[in-house]
Amino acid sequence: MFNKRTKIKELLSAEITGQEAIVMGWVRTFRNNQFIALNDGSCNQNLQVVASLGLLDDETLKRITTGASLKVIGELVPSLGKGQSVELKATSIEILGDCDPEKYPLQLKNRPSLEYLREIAHLRFRTNTFGAVFRIRHSLAYAVHKFFNDKGFVYLHTPIITSSDAEGAGEMFRVTTLPFDNAPRNEDGNINFKEDFFGKSTNLTVSGQLEGELAAMALSDIYTFGPTFRAENSNTTRHLAEFWMIEPEMAFYDIEDNMNLAEEFIKYIIQYAMDNNRDDLEFLAQRLLDEEKQLPQDKRSELGLIEKLEFVVSNAFERITYTEAINILLESPTYKKKKFKYEVQWGIDLQSEHERYLVEKHFKKPVIVTGYPAAIKAFYMRMNEDGNTVAAMDILAPGIGEIVGGSQREERLDKLIERMNKMHVPVDEMQWYLDTRRFGSVPHAGFGLGFERMVQFVTGMTNIRDVIPFARTPKNCEF
């Protein structure tokens, strides 16, 4: 029975009339005991269902409430109402699931806040905003696969449980089956991980890059797209403890090739969403405009959401070195007026306020920064000729800050070991990685795109928690 239904998106786009259709969905509104706005999540628009007077008894009419689920059979007719070309003149309406209007939290009159909706995650998918966000998220994910597939990249599934700290930053969630209260210990009092499930200390992955490099050293071009876990205690609108990352890794690539690919990739997936999610983007653009009305003029975005995306796909990203970035910051009015919270001098890790100054105030477009000080970047990045900076590249986006982190990798075994020792990365445990540099090492490069930050950029959602179905952040793991 169910597979005969037609999705509302299909009905509205085909504009066919004079035909019978079966639709199923949830009631958004019910007016004048006659007009039902039905939504099935296939698109932002509702289908107007008309229940002619006399079709339903009073008992059934009472049960058609916001949130109730219906099966409707009817005839598609040209619509007289504005905003839609066809409507469904019902011949039968069956209530599949009742929804108590007294208790249902999503009522039009008290528009729920984004924060409140996070607490009722099973219902937030029913709102226009989250319907649009998650349809766009889907499209972007599809575009990621399409982009790399069309270029001949191999989609590589890297492990979720690992024994290495790819970023060397120590922000890992431990994976163990050892008992808390009575963990086996060595003579020196330390926990004996030989007794643990894997016979060693293990954690959730912070990045699939190192495993990705192994595959790229044979398959040439690979990419990963999977969940990534970071136990950093950052309660911000840009950080999740569980997020999705796309990590391409390419043999025979230098930093320049890497930047070109990253820029092409970002533009491609944005363009894909613009071509395939127009209605949803228009809805979110309006939402953002309404939201920003409450802000003072100077805090509002200069461009609307869609103009911003169009601008990004049609203009080259700015490319500067870290040293140039520091000089721009030192010469900025913000610095001179002592308005930066964090210090600015060569050697600092750029803070979000610095990144945002560069992209939002100075260049007003995405910026690729290269040549960071070696001391603040991961061990695997290639040392530049100056012996002081590495071939790193971060892409900074307006409103987001860092959206991509990448580098050309250190392919010279001696230089890599030197760096690992300096940064206290356990060389003994990383022989499997170092082997890539022993047997046919090649120049190679790659980057990581934070998927949720990308979804934020495209949807204009301010908080990263609002672009992932079930957010995991410090002190929060509901559902």
Task: Tell me the C-alpha distance between 419 and 437, whole Å.
Answer: 14
Q: Are strands 154-155 and 221-229 parallel, antiparallel or unpaired?
A: parallel
Whichever of 377 and 419 has its CB closer to Mg ion, that residue is 377
Question: Which residue among 230, 287, 419, 437 contacts ligand 4AD (CB under 6 A)?
Answer: 230
Whichever of 205 and 277 has its CB closer to Mg ion, that residue is 205
Whichever of 74 and 248 has its CB closer to ligand 4AD, that residue is 248
- Greatest extent of the chain over all pairs of C-alpha atoms, in Å: 85
Residue at token pair 């991961």:
378
446 forms part of the interface with ligand 4AD (CB under 6 A):
yes
Q: Which of residues 312-341 bind ligand 4AD (CB under 6 A)?
A: none
Task: Tell me the C-alpha distance between 347 and 323, whole Å.
Answer: 9
Non-local (6+) Cβ contacts of 87 within 8 A are 47, 48, 49, 50, 76, 77, 78, 79, 81
Under a CB-based contact definition with an 8 Å cutoff, are residues 383 and 374 in contact? yes
Burial grade of 22 (CB within 10 A; 0-12, 13-18, 19 or more): middle
Question: Which residue among 209, 441, 456, 459 contacts ligand 4AD (CB under 6 A)?
Answer: 209
Question: Out of ligand 4AD, Mg ion, none, which partner does residue 93 contact, by CB within 5 to 8 A per kind?
Answer: none
Task: Tell me the C-alpha distance between 455 and 270, whole Å.
Answer: 9
245 forms part of the interface with ligand 4AD (CB under 6 A):
yes
Question: Which residue among 217, 359, 374, 403 contacts ligand 4AD (CB under 6 A)?
Answer: 403
Task: Tell me the C-alpha distance between 56 and 134, whole Å.
Answer: 35
Question: Which residue among 211, 221, 355, 452 contacts ligand 4AD (CB under 6 A)?
Answer: 452
Q: Which stretch binds Mg ion (CB under 5 A): 122-130, 164-172, 398-406, 432-440?
A: 398-406
207 forms part of the interface with ligand 4AD (CB under 6 A):
yes
Q: Which stretch binds ligand 4AD (CB under 6 A): 20-28, 52-60, 414-422, 440-448?
A: 440-448
Q: What are the Cα distances from residue 313, in Å, to 258, 307, 316?
A: 18, 10, 8
Q: Which stretch binds ligand 4AD (CB under 6 A): 2-10, 131-139, 369-377, 400-408?
A: 400-408
Secondary structure of residue 277 in the 3-state scheme? coil
Non-local (6+) Cβ contacts of 451 within 8 A are 140, 141, 144, 225, 243, 244, 245, 246
What is the total count of residues that contact ligand 4AD (CB under 6 A)?
A: 23
240 forms part of the interface with ligand 4AD (CB under 6 A):
yes
Please report which helix (H) or strand (E) contains residue 34, including its range. none
137 forms part of the interface with ligand 4AD (CB under 6 A):
no
Whichever of 72 and 393 has its CB closer to ligand 4AD, that residue is 393
405 forms part of the interface with Mg ion (CB under 5 A):
yes
Q: Which stretch binds ligand 4AD (CB under 6 A): 240-248, 264-272, 310-318, 331-339?
A: 240-248
Q: Shortest approach of ligand 4AD to residue 245 CB, angstroms?
A: 5
Burial grade of 335 (CB within 10 A; 0-12, 13-18, 19 or more): middle
165 forms part of the interface with ligand 4AD (CB under 6 A):
no
Task: Tell me the C-alpha distance between 113 and 451, whole Å.
Answer: 24
255 forms part of the interface with ligand 4AD (CB under 6 A):
no
Question: Out of ligand 4AD, Mg ion, none, which partner does residue 401 contact, by CB within 5 to 8 A per kind?
Answer: none
Q: Which stretch binds ligand 4AD (CB under 6 A): 1-9, 313-321, 326-334, 403-411?
A: 403-411
Question: Out of Mg ion, ligand 4AD, none, which partner does residue 460 contact, by CB within 5 to 8 A per kind?
Answer: none
Non-local (6+) Cβ contacts of 128 within 8 A are 44, 283
Non-local (6+) Cβ contacts of 121 within 8 A are 469, 470, 478, 479
Residue at token pair 């504009």:
15
Burial grade of 401 (CB within 10 A; 0-12, 13-18, 19 or more): buried
Please report which helix (H) or strand (E) contains residue 59, including its range. helix 58-63
Q: Which stretch binds Mg ion (CB under 5 A): 111-119, 250-258, 301-309, 401-409?
A: 401-409
Secondary structure of residue 12 in the 3-state scheme? helix
Q: Which stretch binds ligand 4AD (CB under 6 A): 79-87, 194-202, 239-247, 413-421?
A: 239-247
Whichever of 70 and 245 has its CB closer to ligand 4AD, that residue is 245
Task: Tell me the C-alpha distance between 56 and 33, whole Å.
Answer: 10
406 forms part of the interface with ligand 4AD (CB under 6 A):
yes
Q: Which stretch binds Mg ion (CB under 5 A): 173-181, 245-253, 404-412, 454-462?
A: 404-412
Cα of first residue to Cα of last residue in the chain, in angstroms, is 32
Whichever of 245 and 251 has its CB closer to ligand 4AD, that residue is 245
Cβ-closest position to Mg ion: 405
401 forms part of the interface with ligand 4AD (CB under 6 A):
no
Task: Tell me the C-alpha distance between 66 and 38, whole Å.
Answer: 9
Binding positions for ligand 4AD, rule: CB under 6 A? 166-167, 207, 209, 230, 232, 239-240, 243, 245, 247, 402-407, 446-448, 450, 452-453
Binding positions for Mg ion, rule: CB under 5 A? 405
